[in-house]
Every structure is written in C-alpha cells, then in structure tokens.
Amino acid sequence: MATSDSKAAPEPQPFETLRWRGELPGELILLDQTLLPGEETYLVCRTVSDVFGAIRRLSVRGAPAIGIAAAFGVIVGIQEATRSEEDLTRAFQETVDRLAESRPTAVNLFWALDRMKARFAELSGKPPVEKVQRLLDEARQIHEEDRQQCEAIGRHGAELLSDGHRVLTHCNAGALATGGLGTALAVVYSAVRDGKKVSVYANETRPLLQGARLTAWELQRSHVPVTVICDGMVGTVMRQGRIDAVVVGADRITARGDVANKIGTYTVSVLAKTHGVPFYVAAPESTFDFATLHGDDVTIEERAAEEITQGFGPRTTPDDIDTYNPAFDITPAENITAIITDRGVIRGPTEEKVRVHFGR
C-alpha cells in the first residue's frame, strides 16, 4: 500500500472563554484575558463583586461574552437568597443593578440582563429554589444561543471570502469575545473549514493590544496564518494591496447600522473606503440596539489614563500628562459594505434594511 509523506493538519488547541461549573450552588469560570498570551489562567467567580470586577477590568470582554457572563452573574448573586420570595427579589434587583454598572457601551450586557428580568417576572409565584433553577436554565440557553449564532454568522460570512483572501481585523472578535466561534473570526474559521486558504492581518489595537495579545493568540492556536501589525500601519498595508477584506465585530449597532466598536475601527473604515477594500461587520441580533437610531447617541465608555500611560508596566509618558481614552468609536453605516448577522447579510445597511432584516 502506498504511503503519503504529507502530514495531517494539526488540531486546534481548545480553550473555554467562560462556563458555568456545577449546578446550584455553582460557579462562573472565566478565562482571565488580562493575562494572555503569557498565562492561561481561569478565574472562579463566586460573588457578584467577582463578576463585576472581571467585566470591568476586561478579564472577560467582547459584547456577547459580557452578556453571557452577566446572565450567569445574576445566578451568582441570587443562588443563596432562597429563604423567601422577598429575599430573592431583593437579591435579584441588587445583582442586576450592580452588573448594569460594569460597562456602558456593549448592548449585549443590558440585553442579557433585560432577558433575565423578563424571565424572573414570568416566574412570579414559583418557589424561590425553582425560580433560581429556571433562571440558571435561561442563562445556559443564552450561552447556547450565542454558540449557534456564531456558527450562523460564520456560515453567512464565509461566502464573502474567497480562497487566498487576506483579512484585516481590529481588536478581538473571536472565540475569546463570545460563547462560541466568535463573530468576525467565525467568518475566518468557517472559510478555513470550507477549504479556503485565508490569512489574517491583526491590528495590535492600542492601548490594550487586544489584537496582538488575544486575536493573534487564538488564531495561532487554531493554526490560521496571522500577521500582527501596528494600528498606524493599516493605510500603508492597504495601499500595498495586502488586504482583500476587513472584518470586525461590534459592541452595539444602531437601528440605521452605525457601529460602536473598539477605538480605531472608524479609522480603519475610512482607510478601507479610500482604498476600495470591502469593510464588513459581524454581529448577532443581540448586538443591535433598535431603540437608538444614530451612533452619536451611543454612550462611549472612557477608561483610565493608566491604560495609555502605563498599560503594561513601565510608564511611557511624562508624569502628570493629560490623556483622553475613549474605549470605542462610531463607524457610520455609509462606511460599511455589509453587516453579517446570524440571519444573513445586510448589504449597504440603512435603517429600512436593518429593520426589514430582523422584522422590526
């Protein structure tokens, strides 16, 4: 029998961004993304403060993952408050209010908390222990739905990529940012599974380097070719003809298709438009904010000066220097070639197209 000298492709190295461990009482387990790529360490969240802190300091980040973490965070906060209906109601409201204060821009956080509140109301009159169990089931369902949505986004988006395409990403919108394959990176992973040779240019994404630390880390583990570039190199790389498409995620998308995403995304969209490079946004329905029309009305989170002045140790600015550190920016719909959703692709997004797409 003839033998082949070719080697089988190496298997991806799996990891878990977040999961619920046990039943009731249980624990929320989170991969601490602040330590990547150097350490793969998991946090055990047993209190609401644990979950709040993990979201706030970006141990868990990415809009879908934040929403899932918040849903499980509700269970963390109420699972011991089952002595009476009054105790449970008080603990539930305090927990939801606390988690809602963690980050202001990612709409999935509020979507998940609203869904848990609606489920809590539906369970009125049920014994406290049964109510908590049903709410845990709801959080698990939110997690599972996100897995399925990531797969669907990947399938729809992969059709937009051709064999040999070189894709630029910004920040991290992969498995680390969701409960599944990711949003933007799900498009890449699905194209690769379809047999297409796709490679990625990952913007480092200042000031916290989510592209260099996180996107490069997970793509390398999945054996997808990746090249890290500095944010300021994008225009030159596009001008050199090295980019065939841009695919990014989103933290909030308005009813007209304006996109709030990691700071620097708007700049990439302008450069893509200038150089004729398709600019795609990948996000599930839960990331759409149908109550907000314009991106200018989205609250943009401002983060600590230390992320700029000494984000990874030694100070890189003079002492007592002024800083401005918005975590997100707004990319207007007119800069976006298409939005890839779990329900399909919205080409040239407008308010009418977005609402028709989702039946809103």
Catalytic residue among 50, 146, 231, 251: 251
Contact 131, 164 (CB under 8 A): no
Residue 212 resides in a domain: yes
Where is the domain boundary, 128, 149, 170?
149
Residue of 284, 29, 102 lying closest to 180 (CA atoms): 284
**Residue 79: which residues within 8 A CB-CB, separation 6 or more?**
24, 25, 26, 132, 136
HSE-CB at 344 with a 13 A cutoff on CA atoms is 9
Residue of 189, 358, 188, 347 lying closest to 286 (CA atoms): 358
What confidence score (pLDDT) does residue 7 get? Answer: 45
Residue 11 resides in a domain: no
Same domain, 246 and 346: yes
Count of structural domains within the chain:
2
Same domain, 234 and 262: yes
Contact 264, 170 (CB under 8 A): yes
Same domain, 43 and 183: no
Place of tokens 């990625």: 200
What confidence score (pLDDT) does residue 6 get? Answer: 40
Contact 64, 182 (CB under 8 A): no
Alpha-carbon span 135 to 199, nearest angstrom: 41
Residue 193 resides in a domain: yes
Cite the beta strand spans of the chain per DSSP E: 18-21, 27-31, 42-45, 166-169, 199-203, 226-229, 245-248, 252-254, 259-262, 279-282, 288-289, 328-331, 338-341, 344-347
Across the 360 residues of the chain, what is the mean pLDDT of every consecutive 10-residue run?
41 85 97 97 98 98 97 98 97 98 95 98 97 98 98 98 98 97 98 98 98 98 97 98 98 98 98 98 98 97 97 94 98 98 98 98
Where is the domain boundary, 81, 116, 149?
149
Same domain, 114 and 165: no
Q: Which CATH number fits the domain that encloses residue 55? A: 1.20.120.420
Same domain, 133 and 242: no
Same domain, 196 and 292: yes
Residue 83 resides in a domain: yes
Same domain, 179 and 301: yes
Same domain, 57 and 186: no
What confidence score (pLDDT) does residue 12 get? Answer: 63
Upstream peptide bond of 128 is cis (omega within 30 degrees of 0): no
Q: Which residues pair with 247 in a beta bridge?
A: 280
What confidence score (pLDDT) does residue 10 get? Answer: 57
Across 8-43, b (16+ Cβ under 10 Å) vs e yields eeeeeeeeebbbbeeeeebbbbbbbbeebeeeeeeb
Same domain, 326 and 202: yes
Q: Is 296 a catalytic site residue?
A: no
Contact 131, 92 (CB under 8 A): no
Where is the domain boundary, 125, 149, 173?
149
Same domain, 259 and 116: no
3-state secondary structure of 30: strand
pTM over 0.85: yes
Same domain, 100 and 186: no
Residue 5 resides in a domain: no
What confidence score (pLDDT) does residue 14 get? Answer: 76
Residue 262 resides in a domain: yes
Residue 279 resides in a domain: yes
What confidence score (pLDDT) does residue 4 get? Answer: 35
Alpha-carbon span 289 to 340, nearest angstrom: 16
- The domain of 190 spans 160-358
Q: Which CATH number fits the domain that encloses residue 349? A: 3.40.50.10470
**Residue 138: which residues within 8 A CB-CB, separation 6 or more?**
71, 115, 116, 119
What confidence score (pLDDT) does residue 318 get? Answer: 97
Q: How many CB atoms lie within 10 A of CB 312?
A: 10
Residue 196 resides in a domain: yes
Same domain, 49 and 103: yes
